[in-house]
A and B are shown apart, each in its own frame.
Chain A
Amino acid sequence: MRSTIGPALVLLGLVVAWEILHLVVANSGLPSPFETLAQLGVLFQDADFWKETAQTAQAFAIAVVISTIAGITLGILLGMNRTAGAVSEPILVNLYALPKVTLYPVVLLLFGLGISARIAFGVMHGMIPLTLFTMNAILQLKPVYRRSAAVMGLSSFDTSIRVVLPAILPEVITGTRLGFSLCLLGVLIGEMFASRNGLGYLVTHAMERGDMPTVLAVAVLLAVFALLANAALLALDRSRRH
């Protein structure tokens, strides 16, 4: 009961604050929650909107799959080799701290204006945290786990599958959760800056036209999607931690 009342109250509070802000600003700059929802209803009837959503969904899905597989694989490789891990960690941390949007022109030069540039930009955002989480989970694995596996006669392959993997899984799920949200961010930024399709483009285009209800409607839709996905991964994360 308590777990549903809390978020519901926060949601209600946000909607009320939004409505008050709308009344204070009192112009078309900030449409009311009701107007936004109405606009969302209009968008849902629009075939073009679904086309843009499909574009974003496609780029995002590919980016998530690439960044998850590549991030975990790279994290495992760097975690297994202490020297490689020690060398690459500061590089990855600094690379991650860079405002990646400044590199977007380079990405565009490399990948062109198509969907691949947006996918690459999504992967750039989502992969590094997952690599760092996986690598640190392996580096910080208690040595006694491996020693126990050795005295119980497990081969190194069995040790990796039955001991190392389940031991690092909670960290990997946390990394995946972060990577998921950041991938979405990367894809949307990519669409906003140099693209003629996708939800990111829809938002920029609506802004240019001063169509604030559409901007907010898409923002709400994306927020709901991101929150639901985050909640699902968080639930998975919690079920793995005992």
Chain B
Amino acid sequence: MARYTPEKCADIEEIIRDALQNKTPLQVTGYGTKKNLGGRVLARDELSLSAHSGITDYQPEELVMVARSGTPLIEIEETLDKNGQMLGFEPLHLDKFYGQSTPGSLGGVIACNLSGSRRISAGAARDYLLGFDAISGRAGYFRSGSKVMKNVTGYDLSKLMCGSFGMLAVMSEITLKVLPRPEFMTSLSVTCASLAEARSALSIGFGSATEPSGGAIIKSGGGFNAVLRLEGVKISVDDRIASLSALLEKTGTLRLMSAEESSEFWKMMRDISCLQKDAEQVWKLSVTPSYAPQIIAELEAKYKVDYALDWAGGLIWLGGAGAELGAAIRAVLARQDGGHATLMRAPEAIQASQPIFQPLDAALGGLQSRIKTAFDPMYILNPQKIELGGAADANAL
């Protein structure tokens, strides 16, 4: 059992080349904060990028930042904040959720495509990765993308790296598009009697010209609080709050949050602290927003579940218990026109007994396996972190 902590890109290449020659797969990590997210990796040796760290280029006026993959997310966010900027996709911080001391590395956030509440209005991590360089599972160095905003030169491999969970290549440097931080932020809370009404309030908000940057629902007392976040220059936010209030007047009881309360609320969503802490299992459901109330109603009919919604209802954080819960969730999703469910946290036995990610059909599974093979033919990198399906999976060492 070895643990490698390379500092330079060339060292990463060397480690992967050795792993390939010795047929010893690698668990690829940053600070190891998300080892419990995804499948159990079939590797004894660990390649940690924690020493491959540092912001190498930051040009606020170009909205571009380049950093090594092992750079702590906190360092990235603090540096941007000092310059009045931010990561547009508002990454999730999973440290509290997984009982870790840090939310991990930039590379981890990108590899897991961890996008927060702003996903619904501003896009995912994958929409902000302009370019990268990496070492593939073939021990080959390659680059893709650039430092410019608009680029269609060749395949957009950045998209493939986001959400690949380190299974295709190990990123060395990551180039991000960053955004100006809004001058002012506040949120409007709408208390409704039913989940369907709260969901509908979000739909009205997002269908209006008031440009919400976040839309979440949490249970509150016997009712449901739909919370819509508005950001921008103060004069504009004030104006949009007035318009939004007029639109939602009849939907429920309105309350304007203070800037501080609003900030705390969205931090809670970012940290997934919106669920009760003691849930045996936590699932992430990505669904068609308007179907969310029906999906939850069907699950509540059979299980005791706790939940909070984000992305205008398109994201359901769901806590519950029971060996059959996962199958029940996926059955409901299949009836409700698709969507997908990921098991985010559960005791080992529950994790081992079912697919962590949504299983893919045979055609898609085959394609996924062939993509894996195109980058990592010997399954050296993070084998089994995502179950791919398809015949090529049998190549796994």
**Do A and B belong to a common assembly?**
no
